[in-house]
Amino acid sequence: HLPFVLFSGVNVLESRDLAMQVAEEHVKVTEALGIPYVFKGSFDKANRSSINSFRGPGMEEGLKILQEIKETFNVPVITDVHEAYQCAPVAEVADVIQLPAFLSRQTDLVVEMAKTGAVINIKKAQFLAPHEMKHILKKCEEAGNDQLMLCERGTMMGYNNLVVDMLGFGEMKKFDYPVMFDVTHSLQRPGGREDSADGRRAQVTELARAGMSLGLSSLFLETHPAPDSAKCDGPCALPLGKLAPFLKQMKQLDELVKTFDELDTRA
Amino acid sequence: HLPFVLFSGVNVLESRDLAMQVAEEHVKVTEALGIPYVFKGSFDKANRSSINSFRGPGMEEGLKILQEIKETFNVPVITDVHEAYQCAPVAEVADVIQLPAFLSRQTDLVVEMAKTGAVINIKKAQFLAPHEMKHILKKCEEAGNDQLMLCERGTMMGYNNLVVDMLGFGEMKKFDYPVMFDVTHSLQRPGGREDSADGRRAQVTELARAGMSLGLSSLFLETHPAPDSAKCDGPCALPLGKLAPFLKQMKQLDELVKTFDELDTRA
Amino acid sequence: HLPFVLFSGVNVLESRDLAMQVAEEHVKVTEALGIPYVFKGSFDKANRSSINSFRGPGMEEGLKILQEIKETFNVPVITDVHEAYQCAPVAEVADVIQLPAFLSRQTDLVVEMAKTGAVINIKKAQFLAPHEMKHILKKCEEAGNDQLMLCERGTMMGYNNLVVDMLGFGEMKKFDYPVMFDVTHSLQRPGGREDSADGRRAQVTELARAGMSLGLSSLFLETHPAPDSAKCDGPCALPLGKLAPFLKQMKQLDELVKTFDELDTRA
Amino acid sequence: HLPFVLFSGVNVLESRDLAMQVAEEHVKVTEALGIPYVFKGSFDKANRSSINSFRGPGMEEGLKILQEIKETFNVPVITDVHEAYQCAPVAEVADVIQLPAFLSRQTDLVVEMAKTGAVINIKKAQFLAPHEMKHILKKCEEAGNDQLMLCERGTMMGYNNLVVDMLGFGEMKKFDYPVMFDVTHSLQRPGGREDSADGRRAQVTELARAGMSLGLSSLFLETHPAPDSAKCDGPCALPLGKLAPFLKQMKQLDELVKTFDELDTRA
């Protein structure tokens, strides 16, 4: 029962300065609370609703920012890949590489990720049942990589809505890999705005508590100093100024539930 | 931020002796933990899948059992009503009367329940969105009763499955009535067995923790000394022998989260 | 492969005159098209969203209207019952009595309906899978009535939305009872308006065609001369003035598909 | 109101001989019935559940088979692409290139497809609402291609199930592009088998009728001479031997409904 690890940062690497500001605040807060921390930032948002949406700095520039963050703050970093050719160069910088939810069944990408030897964070697709994740885990294993994590980020429940099925965490824990909770993406309302997804960031603490009460390996967040002017997924982002009190609750909760015995309630 | 109240007991009043045994164990455990307790037992299961399913002792006999429990253990009791004519006699014994989920939109029943002046526990129907509960609250208020509680018990997600939308608790809290979590019914798999619903009682602790982490007014449980031989909803019942360690976790969790400040994460 | 029977009329019996007007138009149109016809009208809407919603004339007055329609137009009538005591008197007038979707699992009501010997139309609850309807059919059979019909009216798909699963008709046909399609209720958007359900009557022809293309026993409709001023479910009602061209399409479609051979596509 | 076009053939190009056999039967049947025909075959199944599943002959070999079919039978062909680099070479052979459902939001792929100038068939993702397809259409238009088609293939309804929302066709028709119905993929039960999706091919005629009754531009099918030994999606495939009687029904239905007037049922 290790304490939870925080994977957090920004949705997209809007700029080097924003990334540095966000990383600095995270390092300060997590050190004070004793929470192991991994910086998260995307170099490309490859599936925006609109062709005109901001996509990010691109791989080359993005990896430079991630490298600077690693060196400046001495923290590991995570980022996501979208095409097979990105896996090797990204894994040279990123400690953890992430398989996007919509792409989680693309065999070539999965295999190329596996080959890097990096830790892989597999996002559960919104259209998959928890038990179906075993297929993706098996693909990675058969490609020679068992440094795997599973990440819940909500399941489609009717049109334009996501729900987090709390029973899914237990199902995924049975695969014996760490299970993480991406709480901010789970707050999305897909298609909820004219040109993009809407979100329910006012409820981020509630949803995060529910997940953390189960005793998870990791929590995944996206934050922004000014969510209303974020270039992507602002409606879901935790305001950076609330990071400290938010994490303090999560830390206390995590510590408590990890003292609990597992109860066999079958009989 | 009062401590949570436990509404718990049996699904159906299988017999006077079973009810007494279950009540006794609950009283012992809740006193030890300092949890306010209300005994729950149904006198009639009016919507079983099969006409041959056990339905219970009926209203007259059932109320006798509830009366004996009240007097013996000095605890309030809750039970559910299904038809308008039952409301008045049931409210003479029961401190809280419960509106079943499938019947939650039946105006005559709601009005008759309201007239009794008893506290009313309104189960959220599996087919209603959280925000739609305002209509049922309003029906009760207009019928002259504002001693109301709302109770989550899962929402239909595709065929033969229920999911608890943790964001729904927050939506329902906005109505300014106590919100309860019926965790055992939320574990149902409707239509999952040849003649009845299946359930996931092995996961009761997980789901209960997720709900309790939100800081709820009450928790609702059904228990059984031998779930596999229960006459109704055994697949969802908490084994009575696990009540003490289960509640101990809930109590600790409730105490912790009720020390948390509410965070405004809108900006 | 008999031609389809039309069950149609009004949602609620708003007044004797409205009911007569609607019945007269239906009789004229169905006679011209050669469609067997049963008049539909409810005497009580027992589960409106609001306590102040119009509920109807009540049982006594409603049955008088239905009786007058039977005698004036020489057509059978269908109406719905909500409580056990209504079954016997209603069955004296109504040729078919209907079990409401939300109440479809209430054993006492089902048993009392069965006892009347009337034909029973069982609405599939929005929260049940097609295969679960076998339990309700069995309840009726065990109560001594096998004059049964099943009626599709949409299934909950996420919050505030219904969908008609076209594969469900085939599953329900396997029970060897007539299967009817209530197309207008299937157009509901539950909770879609401030005080009531919204609907998609602009799409009634599309959805009706899809159902009728499967070769069904019956079609169920609610109509209104002025849907926008209807006292209940106007957003779903077929405008009475469009009944003739609408039914002409349904008749042609029904005739064609009932000439089709059943294809075994398993191998 | 043009007659429907058939896009049909095989799921994956298992072999040159199988493809030729299937194409020959389709050409014979569609000529006899006067149905315009486009051959469909995939050269790579890029998102199989298992890493060991059969994926196909690959792009180079697959395009050779498609070219031979074009020349031998003088029919257009459609195939799907999965990565940006495939678009240009595939469009040299294929008359229509298809955007897979899971990839329908990947901007780079969409843009590269648009650049080819080929007709693009956009599969509606199982996780998107019909109205959200406007974003993908707009991406293509902004990339300079308005030779577009939309294709329904079912929407996720709870875990491991798809449903076709018949009202979605009407919503998608409003975008003023042709709307196609992929009936065989709509029959999938995702995750329904140990290593792959299950399907409901016994119901293909029912579901196809429901769709065709709406008056569609095109129908999409996958067939196999021996579905139980197909290398991919056999549980959904129409047995090739049933193609003729199946299409005869679809042709008659299409002809009838395209004589129907559009009814304005709003008032």
Nearest CA in chain D to A101: D102
Q: How far apart are CA C202 and CA B32, in angstroms?
A: 62
What's the burial of A244, exposed, middle or buried (CB within 10 Å: 0-12/13-18/19+)? middle
CB B122 within 8 A of CB B99: yes
Q: Do C50 and B138 touch (CB under 8 A)?
A: yes
pLDDT for A17: 98
Phi-psi region of C79 (alpha: psi -120 to 50; beta: other; left: phi over 0): beta
pLDDT higher than 90, residue A253: yes
pLDDT for A10: 98
How confident is the model over A1-30, as a mean pLDDT? 97
Distance from CA of D219 to the nearest CA of C (A): 15
Residue with tokens 């990010």: A56
Residue C256 has its nearest CB partner, among D167, D169, D256, at: D256
pLDDT for C173: 98
Q: How far apart are CA D151 and CA D155, in angstroms?
A: 12
pLDDT higher than 90, residue A222: yes
pLDDT higher than 90, residue A48: no
Band of residue A2 on the pLDDT scale cut at 50, 70, 90: very high
Distance from CA of C158 to the nearest CA of A (A): 4
Nearest CA in chain C to B102: C102
The closest of A69, A82, A72 to A39, measured between CA atoms, is: A69
**Which chains does C contact via 3+ CB–CB distances below 8 A?**
A, B, D
Q: In the 8-state DSSP scheme, what is residue D263?
A: P
Q: Which residues of D touch A103 (CB under 8 A)?
A: 102-103, 106
> Does the pTM exceed 0.90?
yes
Q: Do D157 and B161 touch (CB under 8 A)?
A: no
Residues C45-57 have pLDDT tens digits of 998 888 888 999 9
How confident is the model over C86-95, as a mean pLDDT? 98
Taking all residues of chain A, what is their mean pLDDT, rounded to a whole number?
A: 96
More confident residue, B258 or A193: B258
Under-50 pLDDT residues of chain B: none
Distance from CA of C125 to the nearest CA of A (A): 18
Residues C207-261 have pLDDT tens digits of 999 999 999 999 999 999 999 999 999 999 999 999 999 999 999 999 999 999 9
Q: In the 8-state DSSP scheme, what is residue B33?
A: H
Band of residue D196 on the pLDDT scale cut at 50, 70, 90: confident
pLDDT for B49: 83
Q: Which residues of A touch C161 (CB under 8 A)?
A: 158-159
pLDDT for C194: 81
How confident is the model over D110-131, as a mean pLDDT? 96
How confident is the model over D65-79, as a mean pLDDT? 98
How confident is the model over C103-108, as a mean pLDDT? 91
C-alpha R_g of chain A: 17
Q: Which helix (H) or strand (E) holds B170?
A: helix B166-173
ipTM score assigned to the predicted complex:
0.96
Band of residue D18 on the pLDDT scale cut at 50, 70, 90: very high
pLDDT for A159: 97
Distance from CA of C13 to the nearest CA of D (A): 20
pLDDT for B103: 92
Residues D227-244 have pLDDT tens digits of 999 999 999 999 999 999
Q: Do D211 and C206 touch (CB under 8 A)?
A: no
The closest of A243, A220, A255 to A30, measured between CA atoms, is: A243
Antiparallel, parallel or unpaired: β C188-189 and C198-199: antiparallel
Q: How far apart are CA C249 and CA C213, in angstroms?
A: 11
Q: How far apart are CA A77 and CA A89, in angstroms?
A: 14
Q: Which of A220-229, D69-78, D188-197 has the lowest mean pLDDT?
A: D188-197
- Token pair, residue A142, equals 């058969």
Residue B220, beta-bridge partner list:
B7, B182
pLDDT for D1: 81
Please pick, among D44, D80, D182, D233, the residue that the annotation labels catalytic. Answer: D233
Residues C68-83 have pLDDT tens digits of 999 999 999 999 999 9
pLDDT for B1: 81
pLDDT for B246: 98
- Token pair, residue C255, equals 């005739």
pLDDT higher than 90, residue C195: no
Q: Which residues of B touch A206 (CB under 8 A)?
A: 166-167, 169-170, 214
CB A99 within 8 A of CB A123: yes
**Which chains does B contact via 3+ CB–CB distances below 8 A?**
A, C, D
pLDDT higher than 90, residue D50: no
Residues with Cβ < 8 Å from B60, sequence gap 6 or more?
none
pLDDT higher than 90, residue D51: no
Q: Tell me how far the alpha carbon of residue B157 is from its chain's centroid.
A: 20
Q: How far apart are CA C147 and CA D53, in angstroms?
A: 50
pLDDT for D198: 94
CB D113 within 8 A of CB D83: no
Report the share of chain B in percent with pLDDT over 90. Answer: 93
N-to-C CA span, chain A: 25
pLDDT for C100: 95
Residues A91-133 have pLDDT tens digits of 999 999 999 999 988 999 999 999 999 999 999 999 999 999 9
**Which chains does A contact via 3+ CB–CB distances below 8 A?**
B, C, D
What's the burial of A136, exposed, middle or buried (CB within 10 Å: 0-12/13-18/19+)? buried
